[in-house]
Structure 1
Amino acid sequence: MSLLTSPSGALASTALLTDHYELTMVRAALRSQTAFRRSVFELFARRLPEGRRYGVVAGVGRALDAIQAFRFDEVTLNYLLEQNVIDTDLADWLSRYKFKGNIWGYPEGEVYFPGSPLLIVEGTFAEACILETLLLSIYNYDCAVASAASRMTAMAGERPCIEMGSRRTNEYAAVAAARAAYIAGFASTSNLEAGHRYGIPTTGTAAHSFTLLHDSEEEAFKAQLKTLGRGTTLLVDTYDIEEAVRTGVRLSKGRLGAIRLDSGDLAEQAADVRKLLDSLGATQTRIVVTSDLDEFQIAALRGAPVDGFGVGTSLVTGSGAPTCGFVYKLVARASSDKKDAELLPVAKKSIDKVSVGGRKYALRRFDAKGRAEAEVIGIGAPPADDGNDRPLLVPIMVKGKAVAREPLAAARERHQRVRSELPLSALKMSKGEPALPTVLLDHEGAPTDNPYEAVRS
Structure 2
Amino acid sequence: MNTADLGLPVDVPSTALFTDQYELTMLQAALKAGTAERRSVFEVFTRRLPDGRRYGVVAGTGRVLDAVENFRFDAGVLGFLRERGIVDEPTLEWLASYRFSGDIWGYPEGEVYFPGSPIMRVEGSFAECVLLETVILSILNHDSAIAAAASRMSSAAGGRPLIEMGARRTHELSAVAASRAAYVGGFASTSDLAAGFRYNIPTVGTSAHAFTLLHDNERDAFQAQVNSLGRNTTLLVDTYDVATAVRTAVEVAGPELGAVRIDSGDLLLVAHRVRQQLDELGARDTKIIVTSDLDEYAIASLAAAPVDAYGVGTQLVTGSGHPTCSMVYKLVARAESADPRAPLVPVAKKSSGGKTSIGGRKWAARRLDEDGIAEAEVVGTGAVPAELADRQLLVELVKGGDVVAREPLDVVRDRHAAARDGLPLSATQLSRGEPVLPTEYVHGRSGSQ
Q: In structure 2, the residue corresponding to 1:330 is in which secondary structure?
A: strand
Match of 1:359 in 2: 361
How far has the Cα of 1:158 moved from its partner? 1.4
Structure 1: runs of 5 or more not aligned: 1-7, 446-457
Q: In structure 1, the residue corresponding to 2:42 is in which secondary structure?
A: strand
Distance 1:382 1:259 in 2: 55
2:392 maps to a residue whose letter is P
Match of 2:413 in 1: 412
Match of 2:377 in 1: 375
1:41 maps to a residue whose letter is F
C-alpha RMSD over aligned residues: 1.2
How far has the Cα of 1:390 moved from its partner? 2.0
Distance 1:385 1:271 in 2: 53
The correspondence of residues 250-265 of structure 1 with structure 2, limited to 5 A, is 250-265=251-266
Q: Identity over aligned residues, as a percent?
A: 61
* 2:293 equivalent to 1:292: yes
Any conservation in 1 of the 2:183–2:201 contact (CA below 8 Å)? yes
The correspondence of residues 114-153 of structure 1 with structure 2, limited to 5 A, is 114-153=115-154
Distance 2:368 2:441 in 1: 16
* 2:18 equivalent to 1:27: no
The correspondence of residues 112-191 of structure 1 with structure 2, limited to 5 A, is 112-191=113-192
2:408 maps to a residue whose letter is P
After alignment, is 235-244 or 342-351 more displaced? 342-351
Match of 1:61 in 2: 62
TM-score computed with the length of structure 1 as normaliser: 0.94
Any conservation in 1 of the 2:236–2:261 contact (CA below 8 Å)? yes
How far has the Cα of 1:9 moved from its partner? 4.1
Match of 1:325 in 2: 326
How far has the Cα of 1:380 moved from its partner? 2.9
Match of 1:14 in 2: 15
Q: In structure 2, the residue corresponding to 1:385 is in which secondary structure?
A: helix
Distance 2:273 2:313 in 1: 25
The aligned length equals 437
Any conservation in 2 of the 1:254–1:280 contact (CA below 8 Å)? yes
Q: In structure 2, the residue corresponding to 1:123 is in which secondary structure?
A: strand
Distance 1:48 1:169 in 2: 23
Q: In structure 1, the residue corresponding to 2:387 is in which secondary structure?
A: coil
* 2:198 equivalent to 1:203: no
Distance 1:401 1:386 in 2: 28
The correspondence of residues 333-344 of structure 1 with structure 2, limited to 5 A, is 333-344=334-345
Distance 1:431 1:121 in 2: 33
Per-residue Cα deviation, 1:286-310 (whole angstroms, up to 9, x for no partner): 0000000000100110011000000
* 2:231 equivalent to 1:226: no
Any conservation in 1 of the 2:117–2:364 contact (CA below 8 Å)? yes
Any conservation in 2 of the 1:39–1:334 contact (CA below 8 Å)? yes
Any conservation in 2 of the 1:376–1:383 contact (CA below 8 Å)? no
Match of 1:248 in 2: 249
2:403 maps to a residue whose letter is A
Distance 2:159 2:401 in 1: 40
2:345 maps to a residue whose letter is L
How far has the Cα of 1:381 moved from its partner? 3.0
Per-residue Cα deviation, 1:52-111 (whole angstroms, up to 9, x for no partner): 000101101100001000000112112101211111111111000000000000011100
Distance 2:377 2:30 in 1: 35
Any conservation in 2 of the 1:182–1:188 contact (CA below 8 Å)? yes
Match of 1:449 in 2: none
How far has the Cα of 1:444 moved from its partner? 5.8
Q: In structure 2, the residue corresponding to 1:333 is in which secondary structure?
A: strand
Match of 1:4 in 2: none
How far has the Cα of 1:14 moved from its partner? 0.4
Distance 1:73 1:205 in 2: 43
Any conservation in 2 of the 1:377–1:383 contact (CA below 8 Å)? no
Any conservation in 1 of the 2:14–2:73 contact (CA below 8 Å)? yes
TM-score computed with the length of structure 2 as normaliser: 0.96
Structure 2: runs of 5 or more not aligned: 1-8
Change over 3 Å in CA distance of 1:295–1:356 after alignment to 2: same
* 2:78 equivalent to 1:77: yes
Any conservation in 2 of the 1:101–1:400 contact (CA below 8 Å)? yes
Distance 1:297 1:22 in 2: 42
Distance 1:406 1:39 in 2: 27
How far has the Cα of 1:386 moved from its partner? 4.7
How far has the Cα of 1:252 moved from its partner? 1.1
Query: Runs ≥4 in structure 1, deviation > 4 angstroms?
Result: none
Distance 1:350 1:264 in 2: 52
